[in-house]
Every structure is written in structure tokens, then in C-alpha cells.
Amino acid sequence: MKKYFNYLILTILFSIFNQVSAFDGYVEISPAQPTQTGNKIEVVEVFWYGCPHCYDFEPFIKNWLEKKPEDVVFRRMPGIFRKDWIPHAKAYFTAEKLDVLNKIHSSLFTAIHKHRKQIYDDTSIMKFFLEHDVDKQEFKKTYVSDEIDTKIKQAYVMGQRYKITGVPAIIVNGKYMVSGSTAGSFENVTKVIDMLIEKERGD
């Protein structure tokens, strides 16, 4: 009887814990990190092109962006956990600098995860850009530029400061981290983002 009672108590506590975790759905970042958006609320997606979960998350964040509030600024930041993630980070920042993210971002995810193309190093990334009508000289000049190297270093440092342990991860206003594991599902991630935006408006 005592064992059963203890089991019952543990089950109830476990259930309550799960409900609280699912309700919160986020982790506080301490200390809070600076944003780049002035008075607007910043939402940052941290991702890696080689990550299948990031690819799966794309439709959810795209749907959310269609309804993004006016007082919210969204930006992406490549995650850099290992040295071999750097070429993909450089690819993103190069596409951003050359203003070709509309050609590159979703297409690169699709090429790697749907079509199983091995686009993981400098050579294969350059080939991919050229296939999408990006000028070879412009690509090479930008890809190896000091500006891109600086952005790589900044992204690495911010990933450390956000204390991210996996991708995809969403950072809301430098204060909160939301992921599929904290929110329970990718659909819930966008709900938690909206909840945190409301929270920030009230603070």
C-alpha cells in the first residue's frame, strides 16, 4: 500500500511538472543578451543547413512569418557548434550580403535534405551558388571577406551567450530560448513565440 501511495505521489508530481514545462515552453537566458532591433521586439532563429530538424521547422516559421506583428523584427543566425558548420554559416551570410537569400536559403535546405546533395564544403557551396545564377567573382570575394569572417565570429559568440545546446532554436528579445524540446512540438514553438512577444509588450 505504501509503495502504491509513493508511486501515486510521484506520478502526480511528474504530471504537474510536465504540465508546467509544457505551459512555459521556454528557457530564460541569464543574463539577457543585447538585441539589434532598437525598440522593436527581436525574434532570432538559430539554425544549421545540415540539421534535419531545422528543415522540418521551415514550414512552421514560414507560416508564422506571414502573420508576424509590425512591432517584431525577425532575423536568422547560423548556429556554429563545430568547425564543420562554418561553411554553411558562411553560405548564409554570403547570400545575405549579396541579397540572394530568396534564391539560396530554402533551396539549400531542400537540396541537402530532400535531394540528398552533399553540399557541406566551400567547393560544393560555391557550385550551388553558381547554379542559382550568382556571379562567381562576387561570390568568391564575399565568401572569403573579412566582413563574413567577423559575422562568423559574432554568431559563434552569440550562440555561446544564448547557451544554445541544439538547433533549431528561437531567441525572443535576447531573454528567452524556445525549441521543439522546450515547447513540445514545432507547432507549439510558434505559439510560445507569440506568448513571449505579448509578455515583452507588457514589460
| Residue 8 pLDDT class (50, 70, 90 cuts) | very low
Q: Is 134 among the domain residues?
A: yes
- For 80-134, write each residue's pLDDT tens digit: 999 999 999 999 999 999 999 999 999 999 999 999 999 999 999 999 999 999 9
Say how far apart CA 181 and CA 189 lie, in whole Å.
Answer: 9
DSSP 135: -
Q: Is 6 among the domain residues?
A: no
pLDDT at 58: 97
Nearest CA among 178, 157, 194, 147 for reference residue 25: 178
Give the residue with greater pLDDT, 15 vs 74: 74
Q: Is 42 among the domain residues?
A: yes
pLDDT at 1: 55
User: What angle, 0 to 180 degrees and rounded to 10, lies between the N-to-C axes of helices 122-131 and 86-97?
Assistant: 30
Q: Is 66 among the domain residues?
A: yes
Residue with cell 545575405: 96
Q: Read off the C-alpha cell for 60.
A: 512552421
Q: Is 9 among the domain residues?
A: no
Cβ 79 vs Cβ 47: under 8 Å: yes
Say how far apart CA 110 and CA 88 lie, in whole Å.
Answer: 14
Residue 35 clears pLDDT 80, i.e. is over it:
yes
The average confidence (pLDDT) of the chain is 91
Please report, for the domain that includes residue 155, its CATH number.
3.40.30.10
pLDDT at 65: 97
Secondary structure element (H or E) that encloses residue 102, with its range:
helix 101-113
pLDDT at 11: 43
Residue 39 clears pLDDT 50, i.e. is over it:
yes
Say how far apart CA 164 and CA 33 lie, in whole Å.
Answer: 13
User: For the chain, how many structural domains are there in total?
Assistant: 1
| Residue 2 pLDDT class (50, 70, 90 cuts) | low
Q: Is 14 among the domain residues?
A: no
Q: Read off the C-alpha cell for 116.
A: 540528398
| Residue 24 pLDDT class (50, 70, 90 cuts) | confident
Q: Is 10 among the domain residues?
A: no
Q: Is 48 among the domain residues?
A: yes
Residue 155 clears pLDDT 90, i.e. is over it:
yes
Q: Read off the C-alpha cell for 4.
A: 502504491
- Its domain, for residue 122, covers 25-202
pLDDT at 202: 85
Nearest CA among 122, 65, 96 for reference residue 104: 96
Residue 19 clears pLDDT 50, i.e. is over it:
no
- For 168-186, write each residue's pLDDT tens digit: 999 999 999 999 999 999 9
Indicate the pTM of the whole model.
Answer: 0.86
